[in-house]
Chain A
Amino acid sequence: MKILVTVKRVEDYESKIKVKPDNSWIVTEGVNYRANPFDEIAVEEALRLRDTNMPSEVVAVSIGSASAQAEIRSALAMGADRGILVKHDGFLDSDAVARLLQKVVEKEKPDLVLMGKQAVDVDDNVAGQMLAEYLGWGQVTFASKKEALESPEEKAKKPGLKLGADKKSMQAAREVDGGLEVLEVQLPAIVTVDLRLNVPRYASLPNIMKAKKKPIEELLPAALGVDLSQKVKVVRVEAPPARAAGIKVADVPALVKKLHEEAKVI
């Protein structure tokens, strides 16, 4: 089976995010970048599915500037077979991302597209679902599994997504309000992954070296025939309202007194 997996270059969540003084965007100088953590879970799942269903191929796709090669390389170092970079500088809304991915999917014809449920920069949680609709495919969002991340199944690196015996469908548990819902989706399909699907592997040094030789194809939006005009524009970015500094209380009775008499919440 052929699996396409997305890897977005995002600001490292360990980096301090500050808003630009002109409120146009965040300060990007001095910020570290990395692959979207949800996408790393998608890559891990793609590799597990590949390795239990050979012959298979995992193609890592990123949309972004030339720098996003680094995130594709990290997916290749985890074990993906080859990469595709759709090169574009500057902000794209989720709709444009979905339409670019649609073109890549139409070209590559994968059986499965795995994506993080959201990118931790704009936290939109939109592109995967839009891609599914544009392709007319079924979707499973927020894919998870019943087994905990400390379970023997996870330790054995088993895929959480269950491929059907005929390899034409897949079962997946998804995190919804009030519990876990299990859906069966016909392939090809879009699956967006949540935190508890797996624990992504670290790339080993030999694999990092090997990844340097794996091919990355470059595509341009214009050549894909995609109009990038924004349906959703970011017009202003500001710092969140700060919470007033609180106080430390000495003991439980003091806390209860504050909550009862000052905050009046108990």
Chain B
Amino acid sequence: MATILLVAEQAQGHLKKATLSALTAAQQLAQKNGGQIQGLLIGPGAAKSAQDLAAYVGTVLTVEGAGFEHALAEVHAAAVAEAAKKVGASDVVIAATAYGKDVAPRIAAKLGAGVASDVLAVVSANQFKRAMWAGNAIATVEVATPVKVISVRATEFAAAQKAGSAGSVQTLGVAAPPAKTKFVEFNEVKSARPELTEASVVVSGGRGTKGDFKPIEALADVLNAAVGASRAVVDAGWQPNDLQVGQTGKVVAPKLYIAAGISGAIQHLAGMKGSKTIVAVNKDPEAPIFQVADYGLVADLFKALPELTEEVKKLK
């Protein structure tokens, strides 16, 4: 029987939400190829988060030990490839997060596998949909190799539900190969707000903010929303890289996306047009953002956003 290896992502023993979306994609794939899903967790905290993952899948494999302290692509790819061979995996599924994008192609190269990257939908056992040209076209790609690697755009799949009974956890004896890369430091962007890709409401600001994000942040706070930004804002250094929404930044699909002072370049739209409801606030009535907005308000964001913040407060 086919085995689908789900490479789970965790930090300090906490399972990432994107992994549960990747699991849904793996479950859809299992329905097409009759396979069974096994989870794999690598690094410090793997044993702890394995208990969480075991609530969703039948078997969870863990890899811990020297050399796995940091998520180095070459080391993790080697461990995943070895695990995939041990369980006879037909498919390796991983969320297309920064980690997944870094490591998935190396896993594929190790396994002689083709990789379907950042997939939006599972069409059949070997066909997947994915966006190209900044989402201006949706391609169906066929992976022709016996083993397939699939990275999953988490916003396109709902989080998986827990299974009826808890699965088993096994430690996998895999040693880390010597690495040519070394972790130096991590400069974390700390924020008390929800994470951009996981928030159900996102308020984003563009060039129209002129770098002043106070109205964006005030509105985000009353809506319990994450803050996003257009490329122009991040390029100018007004907001950290981590907040960029778009083709080359984060892809988000919240239930409400509010774009303020964002003109709506195609690269930005590629990152947010899957949102359920889109609101655009822009001074320029011709701004392309209005073409994708469900509700458009032609106004100065410095007047409209504080007013909107007050109205939302009244509702609550």
Contacts and interface: CB of A to CB of B under 8 A. Distances in A.
B181 A138 contact: yes
Interface string A169-212: 00101011111111111100100001110000000000000000
Contacts of B276: 263, 265
B144 A142 contact: no
B194 to A, nearest CB: 13
Nearest to B312: A266
Contacts of A181: 183, 185-187
15 contacts: A26-B137, A126-B104, A129-B103, A130-B106, A133-B105, A179-B186, A179-B189, A185-B181, A195-B244, A243-B273, A243-B292, A246-B294, A248-B295, A255-B308, A258-B295
Contacts of B137: 17, 19, 26, 237-240
A79 B223 CA distance: 50
A138 B179 contact: yes
A133 B77 contact: yes
B234 interface: yes
Contacts of A6: none
Contacts of A245: 291
Interface of A: 11, 13, 17, 19, 26, 38, 93-95, 98, 117-118, 120-130, 132-134, 137-142, 144, 146, 148-151, 171, 173, 175-186, 189, 194-196, 230-240, 243-249, 251-253, 255-256, 258-260, 263, 265-266
Interface residues of B, number: 91
Given A246-B296, A259-B295, A150 B236 contact: yes
Contact of A266 (B116, B256, B294): B256
A126 B187 CA distance: 25
Interface of B: 72-74, 77, 97-99, 101-106, 108-110, 113-118, 127, 130-145, 179-189, 195, 197, 201, 223, 231, 234-237, 240-242, 244, 247-248, 255-256, 266-267, 273, 276-279, 285, 290-299, 304, 307-308, 311-312, 315
B85 to A, nearest CB: 15
Given A149-B237, A233-B142, A260-B315, A121 B102 contact: no
B187 A182 contact: yes
Contacts of B223: 266
A129 B77 CA distance: 10
A263 B276 CA distance: 9
Contacts of A179: 186-189, 240, 242
